Structure 1
Amino acid sequence: MINHILVNTKIAVRNALILLVRLVGIRLFNLNQTITFLTDSQRAYEPEYQLSLPDVFDAIDPDKQVFKRPEAVTLPTYAWQYTPRPASAALLPSGCLFAEGQVLCTDYWNYQAIKHRLRPPKRQTVQTDLLVAPFSHQQDMIAFGGYYDYLFLIAAKLCRLQQAMPEVSFADAAVAYPLFGTSYEQEFLTLMGFRPERILDSRQHDVTFTSCLLGSGGDWFYPSPADIRALQMRLTPLVHNPDKKREPTYISRAGRRRVVNEDALVRMLETYGFRIVEDKPRTLAEQLSIYNQASFVIGPHGASFSNILWCEPGTHLFELFAPDYAPPFFLYLAQLLGLRYSAAYQKRPDQNPVNAIEANMRVSIPDLERKLNQVFESDFR
């Protein structure tokens, strides 16, 4: 009841703020209005894509169904180069673009921009001819945050923009949005050609510009195949596997959704020749290469599985899920990439109520071993 009241209160406050913004002459565009507004600035378009995903039954308990033939539908994606009239546009702290009296919506929503128009924070002014503004949301580790979101919502979009406008040099541009503040972000932006001093946090820098590159956000569960190909093409040169070796690999997790009896699981997997990959910071090249070298990948569901983009076709991904959280996006990627896929629910380690997205799991070692024997005994014993 309290949660229901809080949600309704937040909606009422948001609607009141939106009305207030309109009264002072500012409009919040939705995505369709934004697409129409930027029609003359469009440089690339990719239509939606549909993919029928298979039924997936629990690999250990076939009476349970993990996924019931979901239909994956991507969003159409756009790339724009927008050149406003002088002094008619600004990049807001949220990463949203204010253009000619309206706040554009290039990603998922833009009401977060309201407070920045009503009470603009103090920011350092930076001038650039070309601005790249790839994302309009702040990392909060609830709606947005972490490696998966960065890779598919920001990095893939930047690859799309670069591919759509090859004549544009990112070395001559500034990139600005609410930065994630991670090493992989800095590594990727540098790889894309941005100079370190031109990688700017929009919450701290008021960037004035002549022209701006923008892209629409893709579906969170089902990234556009075109974006995936662009990301693969850009990062594949980082893969290091000169011996073309392949080995079964276990991906550990140290934070939420970890395996509480991992020591016993690792001992079992090591008898089958598994490589054990600890959860610790790694460069992009190291992460991509680990997955490229894997013949079989197993572990608790987590953002690291984003790197299956660099697995060889035919690699088997085996996801371990806690009882109440099983999103289908890695099933989608596996189908798109020609990988084999399995999944299994595991038990909660205790009865304490936990947010489903954070719940740890306890793996049934004998049951899992029996299933793994069926899958790869002939290859790895």
Structure 2
Amino acid sequence: MALLTPHKTINYYHWITEVLGNLWLLKNAGLPINYVDQYLMGHSGAAWQEKILQLAGMQPERITPIGDLEDQFIDRMLLPSWGEVTSHSLPDWLSDAIHASIGFSRPQAPGTRRVYLSRQNASRRRVLNEHSLIERLRAHGFECHECGDLSFRQQQDLLASAGVVVAPHGAALTNLLWCAPQTDVIELHAHRHQDQSFHLLARQLRLRYRSHSIAGPSHSSRTREDDLELDDCDLAVVEWLVRDALNNTAT
């Protein structure tokens, strides 16, 4: 048995980075996927998980959800190690490992689509006045998507065809993995949520990354999980960043 991720419930970003990163480490150590009888991981049976594991060449009978392992004795466990790094510090091999694990080839040049990734159906870190933001973005030719409404393949295709991506901080930005080098990315995050995961991922992928820090709404506790509420100044800054990104794509 091999442990791919120790979490029973896990989001899209951590699942993809940990499961595919650890699969690659095992293969790089000379252990092909069929060498291991069972892979232990957080597994809900979500369609995107099933598709990714299929692309990685893993048969369903080799999957053991962590929640099914209570009161069982394990004779031998393989534990891939990232050494001194974690999924929040991103080892320099990670994005290439993810691509290799599922046979993904990145496009060579950015696409032409202008994409906003919404969190309107999330329970936290939403943009409360998103209608105001979307109105400004649509004036620049943006389309709005909720990644939870898309299949894994649709998410790959969407981001591979993007030239500019705008999104609040959240797991949907994991899909930067499918962008071409030099794609422009603008991340919006709460003032106290200075998580660098997607900045590091963008740098590793050679994307052109920008971010804007936004205070929470007046009634908020101003924590790292705050919803966002953009005032007129924030909206103007985001629009300036968008114009700058569009100017880059035109040159």
Tell me if TM exceeds 0.5.
yes
| Structure 2 CA distance for partners of 1:194 and 1:182, relative to 1, 3 Å | same
Find 1:160's aligned residue among 15, 25, 33: 25
Query: Aligned pairs, how many?
Result: 240
The answer for the alignment partner of 1:196 in structure 2 is 60
Find 2:112's aligned residue among 214, 234, 246: 246
- Segment drifting more, 196-205 vs 147-156: 196-205
Tell me how far apart the structure 1 counterparts of residues 55 and 40 of structure 2 sit (CA, whole Å): 16
The answer for the alignment partner of 2:162 in structure 1 is 294
Residues 190-226 of structure 1: per-residue CA shift (max 9 Å, x gap): 33223223322243243756x6543114413122222
Find 2:195's aligned residue among 312, 324, 327: 327
| Structure 2 CA distance for partners of 1:322 and 1:172, relative to 1, 3 Å | closer
Tell me how far apart the structure 2 counterparts of residues 288 and 165 of structure 1 sit (CA, whole Å): 29
The CA RMSD measured in Å over matched residues stands at 2.8
2:34 pairs with 1:173: no
The alpha-carbon deviation at position 172 of structure 1 amounts to: 7.0
The alpha-carbon deviation at position 159 of structure 1 amounts to: 2.3
Tell me how far apart the structure 2 counterparts of residues 176 and 378 of structure 1 sit (CA, whole Å): 44
Find 2:206's aligned residue among 317, 335, 338: 338
Residues 91-118 of structure 1: per-residue CA shift (max 9 Å, x gap): xxxxxxxxxxxxxxxxxxxxxxxxxxxx
The alpha-carbon deviation at position 169 of structure 1 amounts to: 4.1
The alpha-carbon deviation at position 379 of structure 1 amounts to: 5.2
The alpha-carbon deviation at position 315 of structure 1 amounts to: 0.9
The alpha-carbon deviation at position 238 of structure 1 amounts to: 7.9
Tell me how far apart the structure 1 counterparts of residues 228 and 7 of structure 2 sit (CA, whole Å): 31
The answer for the alignment partner of 1:235 in structure 2 is 102
Tell me how far apart the structure 2 counterparts of residues 134 and 280 of structure 1 sit (CA, whole Å): 23
Tell me how far apart the structure 1 counterparts of residues 225 and 238 of structure 2 sit (CA, whole Å): 22
| Structure 2 CA distance for partners of 1:226 and 1:370, relative to 1, 3 Å | closer
Ranges in structure 2 where 5+ consecutive residues have no aligned partner: none
The letter of the residue matching 2:212 is A
Ranges in structure 1 where 5+ consecutive residues have no aligned partner: 1-130, 140-144
Tell me how far apart the structure 1 counterparts of residues 68 and 248 of structure 2 sit (CA, whole Å): 57
- Determine if contact 1:245/1:293 at 8 Å carries over to the other structure: yes
Residues 18-97 of structure 1: pairs in structure 2 closer than 5 A = none
Tell me how far apart the structure 2 counterparts of residues 289 and 236 of structure 1 sit (CA, whole Å): 14
Tell me how far apart the structure 2 counterparts of residues 311 and 178 of structure 1 sit (CA, whole Å): 26
The letter of the residue matching 2:208 is R
The letter of the residue matching 1:216 is S
Residues 140-151 of structure 1: pairs in structure 2 closer than 5 A = 145-151=10-16
Tell me how far apart the structure 1 counterparts of residues 191 and 218 of structure 2 sit (CA, whole Å): 12
The letter of the residue matching 1:285 is R
The alpha-carbon deviation at position 373 of structure 1 amounts to: 2.5
SS in 2 for 1:362: coil
The alpha-carbon deviation at position 297 of structure 1 amounts to: 0.9
2:182 pairs with 1:314: yes
Find 1:362's aligned residue among 222, 229, 236: 229
2:142 pairs with 1:274: yes
Normalising to structure 2: TM-score of the pair? Answer: 0.82
| Structure 2 CA distance for partners of 1:334 and 1:349, relative to 1, 3 Å | same
The answer for the alignment partner of 1:304 in structure 2 is 172
SS in 1 for 2:180: coil
The alpha-carbon deviation at position 281 of structure 1 amounts to: 3.8
The alpha-carbon deviation at position 337 of structure 1 amounts to: 1.7
The alpha-carbon deviation at position 328 of structure 1 amounts to: 1.2
The alpha-carbon deviation at position 149 of structure 1 amounts to: 0.9
- Determine if contact 1:238/1:288 at 8 Å carries over to the other structure: no
2:2 pairs with 1:132: yes
Residues 162-189 of structure 1: per-residue CA shift (max 9 Å, x gap): 24325x3438732224435533223222
Find 1:186's aligned residue among 50, 70, 89: 50
The alpha-carbon deviation at position 316 of structure 1 amounts to: 1.2
Tell me how far apart the structure 2 counterparts of residues 152 and 146 of structure 1 sit (CA, whole Å): 10
Normalising to structure 1: TM-score of the pair? Answer: 0.56
Tell me how far apart the structure 1 counterparts of residues 135 and 42 of structure 2 sit (CA, whole Å): 42
